[in-house]
């Protein structure tokens, strides 16, 4: 049987404490503003115990979001390749209005309000998506790995109210942009010219290119190993004749790296080359879109292209593929 005791709460306000005891279950207690609310809660707990489906909420009710995020940072985020970037997102949630709230008290409406607050601050839709993704994973982890089975993931309840993401980039090289780009790169000098050709031939990410080492190249097999990727899964990239031609023209560095340029330097040089060539709206990452589309235009199937590009899902692969109708006409017969 449940018992109800009226007590003096913070600020002298009178509150009702509900206490539920049942053999075989840990004692459950919670405080409410009214006796009616306490009775409803106690009846629900007793019903669950009677049906044998009770799961203790004490840990979820006694752990704040800020505390859970601290544990998440140590046990989960620290092991991720993106852990350093996630530390910022963790701080955002810890310093938010939800930070001092108990996990069990956070509802879908609270997440919806947080989204509105983010939008009012001018956060980009994708940034908000990243914040929500981390919070969702936190709740799932707490429920499945930390023994808080009673938790409901409130992020799942607001899927229809999340900010709409802008469409993915569809920029590809058009008309005579490639020869103009290569001519400007040649005039600029350094590695940027070969880097442009390499990116188009391999569909590799900027960071993967910058991290290339000669000892990862199997020249006989015409394959390059990428041991560390954005997705965390190593992959081997087959090399075209043009890609091998790029490598054959490069000097061997003493430190074993293929390229001297770092990721930021590549982007800066590419921006200057585009400006010199009179090309607007093109980024170095767009060359990965260009390369992925060209692989399909060569006749490779989705699984073959994904093996080269490293995309984990066909949906993500689709975002990087922009086939031109003009290039497909000849294949229709």
Catalytic: 285? yes
Selecting among 116, 230, 262, 324, the annotated active-site residue is: 230
Selecting among 30, 205, 206, 289, the annotated active-site residue is: 205
Residue 52: Cβ-neighbour burial (10 angstroms; 0-12, 13-18, 19+):
exposed
Selecting among 131, 143, 288, 289, the annotated active-site residue is: 288
Selecting among 30, 72, 131, 320, the annotated active-site residue is: 320
Which stretches within the chain are classed as H helix?
35-51, 58-62, 65-75, 83-94, 108-120, 125-144, 177-188, 192-202, 206-210, 241-248, 263-277, 286-297, 302-309, 314-319, 325-332
Angle at alpha carbon of residue 324, lines to 322 and 325, rounded to 5°: 135
Selecting among 257, 285, 319, 322, the annotated active-site residue is: 285
Catalytic: 288? yes
Residue 311: Cβ-neighbour burial (10 angstroms; 0-12, 13-18, 19+):
buried
Contacts of residue 252, defined as CB under 8 A and 6 or more positions apart, other chains included, come to 214
- Number of other CB atoms surrounding residue 22 within 10 Å: 15
Q: How far apart are CA 80 and CA 310, in angstroms?
A: 18
- Number of other CB atoms surrounding residue 201 within 10 Å: 20
Catalytic: 311? yes
Tell me the C-alpha to C-alpha distance, in Å, between residue 75 and each of 55, 118, 132, 154: 24, 27, 19, 22
Q: Is the separation of the CB atoms in 68 and 142 below 8 Å?
A: yes
The residues annotated with a catalytic role in the active site are 205, 230, 285, 288, 311, 320
């Amino acid at each position: 049987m449940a018992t109800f005791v009226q007590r003096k709460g913070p600020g002298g306000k009178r509150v009702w404490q509900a206490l539920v005891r049942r053999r075989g279950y840990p004692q459950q207690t919670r405080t409410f503003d009214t006796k009616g609310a306490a009775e409803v809660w106690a009846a629900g707990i007793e019903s669950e115990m009677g049906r044998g489906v009770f799961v203790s909420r004490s840990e979820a009710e006694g752990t704040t979001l800020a505390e859970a995020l601290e544990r998440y940072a140590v046990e989960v985020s620290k092991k991720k390749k993106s852990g350093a970037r996630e530390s910022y997102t963790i701080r955002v949630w810890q310093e938010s209005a939800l930070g001092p709230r108990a996990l069990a008290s956070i509802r879908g409406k609270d997440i919806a309000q947080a989204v509105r607050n983010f939008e009012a601050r001018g956060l980009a839709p994708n940034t908000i998506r990243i914040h929500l993704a981390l919070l969702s994973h936190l709740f799932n982890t707490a429920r499945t790995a930390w023994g808080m089975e009673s938790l409901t993931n409130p992020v799942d309840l607001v899927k229809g109210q999340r900010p709409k993401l802008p469409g993915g980039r569809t920029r590809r090289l058009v008309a005579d942009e490639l020869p103009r780009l290569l001519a400007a790169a040649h005039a600029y000098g350094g590695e940027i010219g070969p880097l442009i050709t390499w990116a188009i031939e391999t569909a590799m990410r900027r960071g993967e290119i910058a991290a290339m080492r000669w000892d990862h190249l199997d020249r006989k097999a015409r394959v390059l190993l990428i041991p560390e990727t954005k997705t965390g899964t190593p992959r081997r990239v087959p090399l075209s004749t043009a890609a091998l031609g790029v490598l054959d023209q490069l000097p061997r560095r003493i430190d074993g790296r293929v390229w001297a340029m770092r990721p930021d330097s590549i982007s800066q040089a590419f921006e200057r080359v585009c400006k010199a060539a009179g090309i607007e709206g093109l980024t170095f990452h767009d060359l990965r879109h260009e390369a992925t589309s060209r692989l399909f235009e060569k006749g490779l199937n989705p699984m073959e292209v994904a093996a080269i590009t490293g995309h984990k899902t066909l949906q993500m692969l689709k975002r990087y593929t922009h086939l031109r109708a003009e290039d497909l006409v000849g294949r229709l017969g």
